[in-house]
C-alpha cells in the first residue's frame, strides 16, 4: 500500500476552472477572447494543446479542425503557416500556446492538457516545458493528460509544475483490461501524479474516494449544470466548468478555508 501523501497547496485549485476558456454561443472555445473573458472574471483556465507538424503548440481540443472551423484538417499534419489558413467559426484564429501565455501572463492559474492524436509524443511534453521556462508565475501552472506515460514522463523531467491524471470510465472500450486499470486508478501510484481530474458523470466512486482519503486532490470535469456543480462540491476539490457561470472564481478548497 502506498503511503498517504501530504495535501498539496496548489494555486490552480483555488480558482474554479473555465473549460477551454469562458466560451459561449458567440465566443469560441480555446480562443484568445474566451481566455480574456476568463481572466476578467478571475477564473482559472483549462486549455488543450497539440503539436503541429513543424513543432509548434496549437491550442485546440480536437485533432481534426472540422468542428471548430468548418474546414477539415489534422493539426499534427499541418505546419504553423498552414494552420493560420484556418479560422474559428467566430472569425478568430487558432492561437498558439505562446500567445496564450503572453495573454494570461500569470494573472490567473492555467491548466494545460497535453493531447495526442495516436500515442504519447515525448517531443510535445518537452516543447511545453521549454515554452514555460520564462513564464513569470510557474506556481500558477499545472499540466494534465489522459495518457499515463505522459504524466509519468512530465513528473520525471520537471518538479516545477503540478501534474495531473485525467480519467473517465470508457476511454478504451476495445481494451477492457487497460480501461479497467485506468478507471480504477490502479496505475495511479506509478504515475507519481499530484492530482486527479475525473469525469463528473462517474463521481463519486470508491476508486476516487479511496485516493481522497490518502490526501489526493480531485478536479471534476466537465461540470455544465448547477446540479453537477452541487454534486462536485461534495465529491471533488474543484471543478472544470462550462455552460454555467459560477458565482465566484474561488473553488471549493478556498471557499471552505474562508468559512473556517
In a 3-state reduction of DSSP, which class is residue 172?
coil
17, 240 in Cβ contact below 8 A?
Answer: yes
pLDDT in tens, 214-230: 989 999 999 999 999 99
221 falls within a domain: yes
250 falls within a domain: yes
pLDDT attached to residue 175: 66
Which of 81-95, 114-128, 204-218, 246-260 has the highest average model confidence (pLDDT)? 81-95
* CATH number, residue 241: 3.20.20.190
Exposed, middle or buried by CB within 10 Å (0-12, 13-18, 19+), for 122? Answer: exposed
What are the φ/ψ torsions at residue 181 (nearest 5 degrees)?
Answer: -60, -40
Please say if 50 is a catalytic residue. Answer: no
pLDDT in tens, 135-170: 999 989 999 999 999 999 999 999 999 999 999 877
- Owning domain of residue 177: 12-259
1 falls within a domain: no
24 or 7: which leads in pLDDT: 24
- Residues 57-80 as b/e (b if ≥16 CB within 10 A, e otherwise) read bbbbbbbebeebbeeeeebbebee
Among candidate residues 19, 23, 50, 147, the one labeled active-site is: 19
5 falls within a domain: no
Taking the C-alpha atoms of residue 149 and residue 2, their distance in angstroms, rounded to an integer, is: 20
Among candidate residues 23, 50, 61, 93, the one labeled active-site is: 61
Taking the C-alpha atoms of residue 87 and residue 196, their distance in angstroms, rounded to an integer, is: 33
178 falls within a domain: yes
Q: Which residues pair with 1 in a beta bridge?
A: none
Neighbours of 229 (CB within 10 A): 19
Cα 17 off chain centre by: 9
Instruction: Give the count of domains, the chain.
Output: 1
Please say if 192 is a catalytic residue. Answer: no
3 falls within a domain: no
72 falls within a domain: yes
212 falls within a domain: yes
Amino acid at each position: 500500500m502506498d503511503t498517504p501523501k501530504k495535501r498539496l497547496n496548489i494555486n490552480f485549485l483555488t480558482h474554479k476552472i473555465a473549460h477551454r476558456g469562458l466560451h459561449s454561443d458567440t465566443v469560441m472555445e480555446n480562443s484568445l477572447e474566451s481566455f480574456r473573458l476568463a481572466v476578467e472574471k478571475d477564473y482559472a483556465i483549462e486549455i488543450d494543446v497539440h503539436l503541429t507538424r513543424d513543432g509548434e503548440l496549437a491550442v485546440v481540443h480536437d485533432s481534426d479542425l472540422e468542428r471548430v472551423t468548418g474546414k477539415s484538417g489534422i493539426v499534427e499534419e499541418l505546419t504553423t503557416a498552414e494552420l493560420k489558413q484556418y479560422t474559428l467559426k467566430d472569425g478568430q484564429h487558432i492561437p498558439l500556446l505562446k500567445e496564450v501565455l503572453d495573454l494570461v501572463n500569470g494573472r490567473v492559474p492555467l491548466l494545460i492538457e497535453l493531447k495526442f492524436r495516436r500515442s504519447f509524443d515525448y517531443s510535445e511534453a518537452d516543447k511545453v516545458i521549454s515554452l514555460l521556462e520564462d513564464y513569470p508565475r510557474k506556481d500558477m501552472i499545472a499540466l494534465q493528460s489522459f495518457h499515463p506515460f505522459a504524466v509519468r514522463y512530465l513528473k520525471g523531467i520537471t518538479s516545477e509544475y503540478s501534474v495531473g491524471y485525467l480519467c473517465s470510465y470508457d476511454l478504451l472500450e476495445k481494451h477492457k483490461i487497460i480501461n479497467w486499470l485506468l478507471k480504477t486508478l490502479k496505475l495511479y501510484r506509478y504515475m507519481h501524479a499530484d492530482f486527479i481530474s475525473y469525469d463528473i458523470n462517474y463521481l463519486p466512486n470508491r476508486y476516487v474516494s479511496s485516493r481522497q482519503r490518502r490526501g489526493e486532490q480531485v478536479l471534476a470535469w466537465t461540470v455544465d449544470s448547477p446540479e453537477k456543480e452541487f454534486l462536485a462540491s461534495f465529491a471533488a476539490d474543484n471543478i472544470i466548468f462550462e455552460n454555467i457561470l459560477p458565482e465566484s472564481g474561488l473553488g471549493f478548497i478556498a471557499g471552505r478555508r474562508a468559512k473556517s
